[in-house]
Amino acid sequence: MDPEVARTARESLDLAFHMSNILDTGLDRHTLSVLIALCDLGVNAEALAVVVKELRREKHSLSSSLPVAPSSLS
């Protein structure tokens, strides 16, 4: 990859990640990068947002239904 293209891509991701943090999206840098790449490939951004929200709901639902491990073994 052309170094200038790589630098521009890195700066764009830095800016998007900074905006993501300001908006408190909770997305890590890698996830944001994947989502941006999917948008670049033509995936609908609103559909991706729905998927992210649903995955978060499922994760929360699963974590709240798991039994709590004992804090210490006696």
Predicted confidence (pLDDT) per residue in 12-69, tens digit:
999 999 999 999 999 999 999 999 999 999 999 999 999 999 999 998 888 887 776 6
pLDDT number for residue 73: 54
pLDDT number for residue 60: 87
Angle between helices 45-65 and 29-40 (to 10 degrees): 140
pLDDT number for residue 16: 96
Contacts of 48 (CB under 8 A, 6+ apart): 35, 38, 39
In the DSSP assignment, the letter for residue 37 is: H
pLDDT number for residue 49: 95
pLDDT number for residue 37: 95
